[in-house]
Amino acid sequence: MSTDIKPSQITLSDEGKICFQPNETNPLPGDAIAQLVKGESIYAPQFEMMAGAPLSQDVVSAALEAHLQANLTVFYKLTASSELPQPVQDICAAVYESFGMAAREDLQDTIAQLDTDMRTIVRNKGIRLGPLYLFCPEMNKPAALRLRALLWGVYNGMDLPVTRMPDGMVSKKVDSAEAPIAPEQAALYKALCYPVYGGRAIRIDMLDRVVNAIYDSADKGKFQAQHAMAEWMGCPIAELYAILEALGHKKVHDPADEAAEDTAPKEETAEEKTEAPVSEKQAGDAQDAAKPNTDNIKPELATFALKRGKAYQKSGSGKAQKPHAKKDKPAFKKGKKPHKGKKPRDQGPRVISAGPDKPSQANSPFAVLGQLKK
């Protein structure tokens, strides 16, 4: 049999089996010829050949390596060149070693060293500098996620197939008091760029969107939750609040609490008890007439105090920052103008006259008489 095997002819099942399809035009995976086992690194699994496999071990090894490179291209780009500025190398290494997502707070000093050209290199490497994590968006596509989940499970000795997020799902409830999540499962979700906050595994790009919206709308250290945030993550408002608090923000005011107090039943007074009885139909009609139409009005959401920390300071990713304090203007007494520097030039005494102009001496009647006497 030919040893020229294309990557498309080799597939990996969720159970860790290496399958070979002799007919490259056939979309089916073919027969299992080997089983993946833990290797030296998560990117370099080993395998055990099955009896009667139609390919040699060397051919399978080369085909497996080609399959991994074809589906994990971005990860291989991170270590493709060492002729890069040191801050860029450090960031690439951190994302590679963390299997696709590194905490920003651990790299904040390194990120601060990046200039415009270095940031361009980082983007070309396929890395996004998010407000919470640095990650590779290309590795969040369904095929790459399935392969990464398998490699993580094999390397960490998890039962196969591992429990991962369904393709395309933005978030999912994975942790609760009744069904707490196992640490190894939480680590898997995080490795697959679905960190767990408030009991939900959330896709990192959508979590980025929420965090940026928080800091774009923040004012004086506070922000108000938005219905759009819950829609983006596909969760109810109560779980949105849990996520925001898990991110480190503190709820300081909730209009729903005040509404609950206003609608609490009150004790009837003696006068109310002696009023004429009203039929249920009349009472219902009166309530319907007095009730405003709120079918399309969404309730006001809670206000939170922002978390403080290095990862939330000003950076180049469009996040909000603390407003600059305004300089106090000097106060001036009423009726006095502020001094502007140079004194006005002395132009001598000013003469101000009032009343009608004096008549000319030539037109005076006394001057005419004087002329007649001559």
Percent of the chain clearing pLDDT 90 (strictly above): 59
Q: Tokens representing 165? A: 């997020």
What number is the average pLDDT over the span 312-322?
Answer: 43
- 10 Å CB burial of residue 90 (0-12, 13-18, 19+) is middle
Would you state the pLDDT for residue 80?
78
What number is the average pLDDT over the span 84-99?
Answer: 94
The sign one gets for the Cα dihedral 176, 177, 179, 183 is positive
CA dihedral 142, 146, 149, 150 (to 10 degrees): -170
pLDDT higher than 60, residue 33: yes
Would you state the pLDDT for residue 325?
38
What number is the average pLDDT over the span 148-173?
Answer: 95
User: Which amino acid is residue 86, in one-letter code?
Assistant: Q
Percent of the chain clearing pLDDT 70 (strictly above): 71
pLDDT higher than 50, residue 315: no
In this structure, of 4-8, 93-97, 127-131, 144-148, the range with the lowest mean pLDDT score is 4-8
Residue with the bigger pLDDT between 322 and 272: it is: 272
In this structure, of 112-121, 148-157, 236-245, 334-343, the range with the lowest mean pLDDT score is 334-343
In this structure, of 28-37, 96-105, 116-125, 270-279, the range with the lowest mean pLDDT score is 270-279
pLDDT interval class at 24 (50, 70, 90):
confident
Integer Cα distance of 222 and 176 in angstroms: 28
What number is the average pLDDT over the span 79-87?
Answer: 85
Would you state the pLDDT for residue 38?
97
Would you state the pLDDT for residue 228?
96
What number is the average pLDDT over the span 199-210?
Answer: 96
Q: Who's near 92: CB < 8 A, 6+ residues apart?
A: 78, 79, 84, 122, 125, 127
187 forms bridges with which residues in the sheet? none
Radius of gyration of the chain (CA): 38
Would you state the pLDDT for residue 184?
96
Would you state the pLDDT for residue 83?
86
pLDDT interval class at 307 (50, 70, 90):
confident
pLDDT higher than 50, residue 297: yes
CB atoms within 10 A of CB 244: 23
What number is the average pLDDT over the span 75-81?
Answer: 85
106, 94 Cβ separation under 8 angstroms: yes
Residue pLDDT, tens place only, 321-359: 433 334 444 444 444 555 555 555 555 544 444 444 544
Integer Cα distance of 247 and 95 in angstroms: 21
pLDDT interval class at 310 (50, 70, 90):
very low
Cis peptide upstream of residue 161 (ω within 30 degrees of 0): yes
Integer Cα distance of 353 and 356 in angstroms: 9
CB atoms within 10 A of CB 5: 21
pLDDT higher than 60, residue 123: yes
Work out the mean pLDDT of the chain and round it to a whole number: 81
Integer Cα distance of 199 and 185 in angstroms: 13
**Residue from 150, 172, 152 nearest 161 by CA:** 150
Would you state the pLDDT for residue 314?
44
pLDDT higher than 50, residue 9: yes
Would you state the pLDDT for residue 363?
54
HEC sequence for 233-301: HCCCHHHHHHHHHHCCCEEEECHHHHHHHHCCCCCCCHHHHHCCCCCHHHHHHHHHHHCCCCCCCCCCC
What number is the average pLDDT over the span 199-220?
Answer: 95
